[in-house]
Chain A
Amino acid sequence: MLVAPLPANENERLADLRGLGILETPIEERFDRITRLVCRSLDVPISAVSLVEDDRQWFKSIQGLPVCETSRDVAFCAHAILNDEPFIVEDALLDPRFAENPLVTDDPKIRFYAGIPLSLGNGRNIGTLCAIDRVARTLSDDDIQTLRDLADMVTAELNTIAANETCVKLCAELEQAERAALIDPLTRVWNRRGAMTILEREVQRAERGQTPLTCALVDIDHFKRVNDEHGHDLGDEVLRQFAKTALSALRSTDILSRWGGEEFLILLPECSEPDAQIVLHRMLKKIRDLEFEGERNPFRITASIGMAAFADQQIEPIEAVLKEADRRLYAAKENGRDCIIAQGEHDAFANGALRAG
């Protein structure tokens, strides 16, 4: 195995990458949809946006593998960033640089790799958009053009600031390690501490701007059953897929966080309760449509939601609003699950009006 040499502009390149403030940030739909498109258009099982740091490659988005980083020594992408042209390994077993690479000889058993270097427009490559397969392959010129087009989409995203102002500012303020401490390693969305930090700021922003802010506590129904019947690995996969699917249904300004266990907190800034219901119903539908390959049989999941709003006139204490959302989540569970309970409905439920669901 050959470890890739360092590019001549390694220091400048790393400065570009760190300047982006993107390392150790949560997964984002805007990158996930591009890696999905890579898998779809090139018919490969694995695709990633890989950012190459000094000692590792970190995946901003990855499809087909449940990892978020590897060491730089074994990274195909560390080779790919050495040139500006597409880097293609048609059969890793026949390539002396990779034949003994543990990513080739062991899981995930990479045989084919194609990576387009990503730069911020200055020719310094910070990472790649790559397509990976477990069988040897060749790429046509058309295929390469497709991958280049998709890499351009990644660059467009890297050059555009994500739409939630609070998150952008928070990510910019924190050092990499501090960011990492606010992110849930399994699902790669904000963790509870991250969510609280963002929530405090969003409440202030809502207060300043006199805008509505809605929050939703979401709990995956019968999750314990998934773990018991299908094992914890699949349970983890359900959580990961849940997070990705939820993100794909939410607006780009909404914040998804793992609140604990199988419970997630969603913040919907500048969103009234009725509008939030539309977004969340869209999300529940997407969750319902997910299918998982179980031990013996395929299965699906649903989720229940309790919603609460921070009134735009008089902002209530955060704890009170979260408690209200939690009460309504419990009501949603009592109401038969796979539903949303919002303001007023909780009381209606208490009177027995919604029990029919």
Chain B
Amino acid sequence: MESQRLEYLRLTRIIDTPLEDRYEKYTRLLSRVFNCSFAAVSFVDQEREWFKSVRGAVVSEIQADRSFGKLVIESSDDIVQAQNSSLGLGHVIAFDQRPVWLVGTPILIGGVHRIGALYVGLDHDLAAREDQEVLKDMARSIKRELAQTLYHHITQDPIREAILC
């Protein structure tokens, strides 16, 4: 399962790519919708959580152990919520802007493989179902961004379909 996940992640060729506005817009939208200063789109391989887009912190990657992204991909829940205090983001967010809660949803490909996370930092947890749906909707749209790139470098239909379903 983990090797399949890593293979899918590798196929997306997303990690270590330059800043792209089409991913920036998700963190912009999130900070707008949830009125929060911290929002991130990240992908998690064996060792690290790598940020494709991040707002409210200056960081490009962190060690995956104890990172929130890792927590999201290891969970089986659609919405993962955790207190931020012990999650390794402490040193990358300015102290006075440190959110109390991190709330995220997985970026899923191939139906079951959690390759990354979309999340926000809040001063409360996210209980309302509509709010959780917004987060999930955006994560599904991110898959479409991944798809746009995939069409250029994956030519075998079955693999593309497996990744996109």
Contacts and interface: CB of A to CB of B under 8 A. Distances in A.
A83 B129 CA distance: 38
B165 A252 contact: yes
A160 B161 CA distance: 12
Contacts, number: 66
Given A40-B134, A156-B22, A165-B157, A149 B148 contact: no
A209 B145 CA distance: 28
B29 A146 contact: yes
Given A165-B161, A251-B111, A142 B29 contact: no
Interface string B123-165: 0000001100110011011001101100100000110010011
B165 A41 contact: no
Nearest 6 pairs of A and B residues by beta carbon: A149-B25, A33-B137, A253-B165, A163-B164, A41-B33, A160-B147
B55 interface: no
A133 interface: no
What band does the interface of chain A fall in when counting residues whose beta carbon is under 8 Å from B?
20 to 34
Interface string A155-187: 011011101010000000000000000000000
Contact size class for B? 20 to 34
A16 to B, nearest CB: 18
Interface string A186-229: 00000000000000000000000100000000000000000000
B141 A30 contact: yes
B158 to A, nearest CB: 8
A149 B145 contact: no
Contacts of A209: 158
A336 B20 CA distance: 52
Nearest to B34: A41
Given A152-B25, A156-B22, 12 more contacts: A29-B140, A37-B134, A37-B137, A41-B32, A142-B32, A146-B29, A150-B29, A156-B148, A159-B148, A160-B144, A161-B151, A209-B158
Nearest to B25: A149
Contacts of B28: 145-146, 149
Contacts of B134: 36-37, 40
Given A153-B25, A160-B147, A160-B148, A252 B164 contact: yes
Nearest to A159: B148
Interface in A27-76: 29-30, 33-34, 36-37, 40-41
A40 B129 CA distance: 13
A33 B138 CA distance: 8
Chain A CB within 10 A, most for which of B129, B141, B148? B141
